[in-house]
Amino acid sequence: MTDTRLRLLKGTFDVLILKTLSWGPAHGYAISRFIATTSLDDLKIEEGALYPALRRLEERGWIDAEWRTTETGREARVYTLTESGRRGALNEVAAWERYVAAFARVLRATPDGALA
């Protein structure tokens, strides 16, 4: 059986994390599950990609992290958007929506350049 999940391109993951955190604070596993669930499991995030992306966003000042006790009683780092991160998320989402729309136009185009 072949793996039909979509592959995330490098650099695309940050906007998904930012959008997920726009709904409220979350720990890494919750972020990963939200993305997998809302993508109908087409996007699965490996730990090896998640935590470096979270560190990168934290270094950029777009998210804050603090240790908290989760609903299951475990200690986990919980991530929250900063005000700068909220603005960045809006810009990143808008840029991705433009990118997706442009990509779709190319995919729908006919050989003469007209849109199908």
> All domains of the chain, ordered by start, with CATH?
13-108 (1.10.10.10)
pTM: 0.84
Give the model's pLDDT for residue 88. Answer: 95
pLDDT at 10 over 70: no
Over the stretch 70-108, which tens digit does the pLDDT of each residue have?
A: 888 999 999 999 999 999 999 999 999 999 999 999 999
Q: Counting Cβ atoms within 10 Å, is residue 32 exposed (0-12), middle (13-18) or buried (19+)?
A: buried
Over the stretch 36-47, which tens digit does the pLDDT of each residue have?
A: 999 999 998 888
**Token pair for 16:** 């998904």
Over the stretch 61-78, which tens digit does the pLDDT of each residue have?
A: 999 999 999 888 999 999
